[in-house]
C-alpha cells in the first residue's frame, strides 16, 4: 500500500481533479490511500467568512459562504457523472450547516478555537467527497472515509496533536482492510477528539495527515503531490532556474522545511522517520518528473550543499545587559519568557553581555519585550530574513563558511549560526538583501552539480 496526498492546487478545479484521477489510475496496483487538501483557497475563504461573522458582518460572511458553495457545486457536480444528484445533496447539506453556524457566530460575536476548527474542517470534508465521486465517475473503485473517524487528537483546537497509538490502531482496523480492494479517499488536516469534536492539525497539516496515515497502515511509500517538481536548490521565486534535488535525507528535508521550504510541512517527516517510510515529492501537473525522494539515508553527494532555504518576515530581538557577565541563569530567564508565550526561536547568537535571537511570530512580542526589559535592555527589529545552507556534507567539508563569506562580501550579515545538527549554516540579512544573497550563494555552491543527486 502507498499513500498519495494531493494539495489544494492539485484539486482546485474540475480539470485538476481529473488529472489526479488519471495519476491514481497509474498507481492502482499499489493499493493507494488518497489524502486530499481543501480545493484551492477554500480554507482561506472559510476562515475569512468566520472572522466576518464574528465581527458582526453577517451579510458579508454569508456572501463568502455562498461563493464557496457555488465553487464546489460548479466543479464538483461536473466530476460526479451519474451520481451528481447525490453529491449535490451532500454539498448543499454541508453548506446549509455552515450557513447556520455563520449566523450563530454573528449573533455571539466571538470566534472560539473550537468553532474555528468546525468551520476550517469543511474544506477537506467537501474535497474528499468530491474526489471520491470523481474517482468513481472515472471508473475507480473509490471509498470515502471521514478522517475524523480515524485521526484521534487531543483538544488543542486549531493545532491539535494526534494521539498516535489510538490513531494507528483505527487506521489499521478500518482503513488498511478497505485499501485491499478499494481506493480509500480521506481529507487531510482534520481529526477529532475521543468524544467526537472536530479538530484541525494546523495549517499545512494535510502533509502531516498523510504521514500519519502512512505510518498507521504501514505503507511502503508516502507521496506528496503538489505543483512543483520536487525540492529545489533554491526557492524559484527568488532564484529562477534552480535544480531539482533527486534525493535527500529526512534530516535534510526537516531542516529545509523548517527554514522556509514550502513544499513540505516540517512535521511530515516525523511519522515517516519513526516507521522508516520513504517520502516522495511529486508534481501533479508534470507526473512524468521523478520528483524528490526523501529517505533515512540519502545517496552520497559530491556537493557539500543540497539546497538553500530562505525565510522572510523575521524579527531579530537584541538583548543586552552589563550584568550578564558571569551571571548565572541569564539565558534561562530569556528562554523562559519565550517559552511562556509559546514563541519559537530560529537562530541564537551570544556574547558576554548580549544575546540576539530571531522569531517569526510577533503575536506576543510586546509582552515579551516588556518582560525582558525588567532585567535587560531589549529591542526588536523587523524586516529581516534567514538564509540557510542545508546539506549533510556541511559538517564534514572544510571551508564552507569561507566560501559563503567570500560570495557575500558585499552583503551586511547580521547574524551567523550553525545548527546543532551540523546540517545547516544560517545567515540573517535584511529582507531587501535576500534575493542577491541567495543568488550569490547559489552561484557559489551549484556551479558544478553531482548528476546522481541533481537534475
| C-beta atoms surrounding 231 within 10 Å | 27
- What cell does 292 get? 524528490
Is pLDDT above 70 for 420? Answer: no
| C-beta atoms surrounding 178 within 10 Å | 15
Q: Is 208 helix (H, G, I), strand (E, B) or coil?
A: helix
The reported pLDDT for the residue numbered 268 is: 74
Q: What is the DSSP string of 17-46?
A: HHHHHHHHHHTGGG-EEEEE--STTHHHHH
Query: Where are the chain's structural domains?
Result: 2-227, 307-445
Tell me the per-residue pLDDT of 44-77, one tens digit each, with 9 for 90 and over: 999 999 999 999 999 999 999 999 999 999 999 9
Query: Which of the four pLDDT bands, split at 50, 70 and 90, describes residue 327?
Result: low
The CA distance from 154 to 124, in Å, is 19
Mean pLDDT for the stretch of residues 29-41: 97
C-alpha pair distances (Å), 143 with each of 1, 26, 133, 161, 392? 15, 18, 9, 26, 41
Average pLDDT, the chain: 93
Mean pLDDT for the stretch of residues 400-412: 92
Top CATH class, 2-227? alpha beta
Question: Parallel, antiparallel, or unpaired for β 354-359 and 307-320?
Answer: antiparallel
Tell me the per-residue pLDDT of 196-224, one tens digit each, with 9 for 90 and over: 999 999 867 899 999 999 999 999 999 99
The CA distance from 273 to 17, in Å, is 30
Q: What are phi and psi of 124, to 5 degrees?
A: -75, -35
Long-range CB pairs of 96-104, under 8 A, 24+ apart, other chains included: 98/46, 98/65, 98/122, 99/62, 99/65, 102/49, 102/50, 102/53, 102/58, 102/61, 102/62, 102/65, 103/53, 103/58, 103/62
Tell me the per-residue pLDDT of 84-100, one tens digit each, with 9 for 90 and over: 999 999 999 999 999 99
**Beta bridge partners of residue 388, listed in sequence order:** 309, 426
Mean pLDDT for the stretch of residues 382-395: 92
Most confidently predicted of 267-276, 295-304, 312-321: 312-321
Query: Which of the four pLDDT bands, split at 50, 70 and 90, describes residue 266?
Result: low
Tell me the per-residue pLDDT of 433-448, one tens digit each, with 9 for 90 and over: 999 999 999 999 999 9
Tell me the per-residue pLDDT of 272-291, one tens digit each, with 9 for 90 and over: 888 999 999 999 999 999 99
Q: What is the DSSP string of 209-264?
A: HHHHHHHHTT-SEEEEEESSSS-BSB-TTTSTT--BB-EEEHHHHHHHHHTT-SSS
> Cell 501533479 sits at which residue?
284
Is pLDDT above 80 for 428? Answer: yes
C-alpha pair distances (Å), 203 with each of 8, 37, 103, 144? 12, 11, 25, 23
Dihedral Cα 206, 208, 210, 213, nearest 10 deg: -130
Query: Which of the four pLDDT bands, split at 50, 70 and 90, describes residue 260?
Result: low
The CA distance from 353 to 355, in Å, is 7
Mean pLDDT for the stretch of residues 394-423: 86
Report which of 114, 35, 102 is spatially closest to residue 67, judged by C-alpha positions: 102
**Beta bridge partners of residue 3, listed in sequence order:** 33, 222
Q: Are 356 and 381 in contact (CB under 8 A)?
A: no
Is pLDDT above 70 for 322? Answer: no
Please indicate whether the domains covering 2-227 and 307-445 agree at the CATH topology level: no
Query: Which of the four pLDDT bands, split at 50, 70 and 90, describes residue 449?
Result: very high
Tell me the per-residue pLDDT of 106-162, one tens digit each, with 9 for 90 and over: 999 999 999 999 999 999 999 999 999 999 999 999 999 999 999 999 999 999 999
Helix or strand holding residue 166 (H, E): helix 164-170
Give the global pTM: 0.88
What is the C-alpha radius of gyration for the chain, rounded to an integer number of angstroms? 24
CATH of domain 307-445: 3.30.2130.10
> Cell 514563541 sits at which residue?
343
Tell me the per-residue pLDDT of 5-23, one tens digit each, with 9 for 90 and over: 999 999 999 999 999 999 9
Amino acid at each position: 500500500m502507498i499513500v498519495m496526498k494531493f494539495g489544494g492546487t492539485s484539486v482546485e478545479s474540475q480539470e485538476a481533479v481529473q488529472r489526479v484521477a488519471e495519476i491514481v489510475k497509474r498507481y492502482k496496483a499499489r493499493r493507494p490511500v488518497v489524502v486530499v487538501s481543501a480545493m484551492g483557497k477554500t480554507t482561506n475563504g472559510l476562515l475569512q467568512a468566520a472572522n466576518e461573522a464574528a465581527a458582526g458582518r453577517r451579510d458579508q460572511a454569508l456572501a463568502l459562504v455562498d461563493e464557496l458553495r457555488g465553487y464546489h457545486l460548479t466543479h464538483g457536480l461536473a466530476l460526479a457523472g451519474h451520481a451528481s444528484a447525490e453529491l449535490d445533496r451532500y454539498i448543499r447539506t454541508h453548506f446549509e450547516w455552515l450557513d447556520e453556524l455563520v449566523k450563530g457566530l454573528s449573533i455571539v460575536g466571538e470566534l472560539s478555537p473550537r468553532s474555528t476548527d468546525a468551520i476550517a474542517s469543511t474544506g477537506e470534508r467537501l474535497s474528499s467527497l468530491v474526489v471520491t465521486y470523481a474517482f468513481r465517475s472515472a471508473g475507480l473503485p473509490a471509498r470515502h472515509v471521514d478522517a475524523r473517524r480515524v485521526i484521534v487528537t487531543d483538544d488543542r483546537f486549531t493545532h491539535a496533536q494526534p494521539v498516535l497509538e489510538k490513531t494507528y490502531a483505527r487506521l489499521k482496523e478500518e482503513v488498511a482492510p478497505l485499501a485491499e480492494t478499494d481506493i480509500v479517499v480521506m481529507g487531510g488536516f482534520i481529526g477529532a477528539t475521543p468524544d467526537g469534536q472536530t479538530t484541525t492539525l494546523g495549517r499545512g497539516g494535510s502533509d502531516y495527515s498523510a504521514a500519519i496515515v502512512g505510518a498507521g497502515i504501514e505503507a511502503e511509500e508516502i507521496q506528496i503531490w503538489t505543483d512543483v517538481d520536487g525540492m529545489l536548490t533554491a526557492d524559484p521565486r527568488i532564484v529562477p532556474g534552480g535544480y531539482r534535488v533527486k534525493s535527500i535525507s529526512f534530516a535534510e528535508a526537516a531542516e529545509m522545511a523548517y527554514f522556509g521550504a514550502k513544499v513540505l510541512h516540517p512535521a511530515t517527516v516525523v511519522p515517516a522517520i519513526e516507521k522508516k517510510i520513504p517520502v516522495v515529492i511529486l508534481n501533479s501537473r508534470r507526473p512524468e518528473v521523478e520528483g524528490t525522494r526523501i529517505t533515512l539515508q540519502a545517496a552520497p553527494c559530491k556537493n557539500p550543499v543540497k539546497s538553500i532555504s530562505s525565510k522572510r518576515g523575521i524579527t531579530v530581538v537584541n538583548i543586552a545587559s552589563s550584568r550578564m557577565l558571569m551571571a548565572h541563569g541569564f539565558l534561562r530567564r530569556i528562554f523562559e519568557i519565550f517559552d511562556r508565550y509559546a514563541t519559537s526561536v530560529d537562530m541564537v547568537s551570544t556574547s558576554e553581555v548580549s544575546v540576539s535571537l530571531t522569531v517569526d511570530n510577533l503575536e506576543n512580542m510586546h509582552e515579551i519585550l516588556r518582560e525582558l526589559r525588567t532585567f535587560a535592555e531589549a529591542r526588536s527589529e523587523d524586516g529581516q530574513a534567514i538564509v540557510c545552507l542545508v546539506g549533510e556534507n556541511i559538517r564534514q567539508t572544510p571551508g564552507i563558511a569561507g566560501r559563503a563569506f567570500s560570495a557575500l562580501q558585499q552583503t551586511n550579515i547580521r547574524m551567523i549560526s550553525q545548527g546543532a545538527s551540523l546540517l545547516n549554516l544560517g545567515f540573517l540579512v535584511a529582507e531587501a538583501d535576500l534575493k542577491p544573497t541567495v543568488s550569490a550563494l547559489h552561484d557559489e555552491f551549484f556551479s558544478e552539480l553531482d548528476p546522481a543527486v541533481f537534475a
